[in-house]
Amino acid sequence: MLKEFREFILRGNVVDLAVAVAIGTAFTAVVNGFVSSFITPLVAAIAGKERFAGLLFTINGSEFTYGAFLNTLLTFLITAAVVFFLIVKPMNLFLQRRKEDDEAAEPAAPAEDVRLLTEIRDLLAAQSR
């Protein structure tokens, strides 16, 4: 059982996934820092508030802190944009070029064995007539 577990853990896709989660977590921390240090003060200054997280409204004594939600939404949008423009878009372009290269790399003439088999087929067809 331990041997099976070890094989499972050492599979490439499990290790790749673990690395991706670790990098994703670190990247999220960087984006959170960027949003809270630069974007949030900018939006707060535009909104005329001292703190972005302090943006709220009250209905019947209940406070709705939409500033915290906007902060989270901005973090998500920036993360999604960076992932799209730095990972997804380049990968799609790479795969498209690779596909085009594979299509262009198809041999124009048939392989030697195919050519010989075609000649044999044609000779046999001519003899049977």
List the chain pLDDT tens, one digit each, 129 residues: 888 877 776 776 777 788 788 888 888 888 888 877 887 778 777 777 666 767 788 899 888 888 788 878 888 888 888 888 888 899 889 889 888 877 776 666 777 888 888 999 998 888 877
- Closest residue by Cα to residue 121 from 28, 59, 113: 113
Q: Specify the 3-state DSSP secondary structure of 33.
A: helix
Task: Extract long-range pairs of 20-26: CB within 8 Å, 24+ residues apart.
Answer: none
Q: 2-127, what's its fold?
A: 1.10.1200
Tokens representing 121 are: 């087929």
Rounded to whole angstroms, the Cα distance separating 74 from 32 reads: 9
| 64 sits in which H/E element | strand 62-64
Rounded to whole angstroms, the Cα distance separating 65 from 80 reads 23
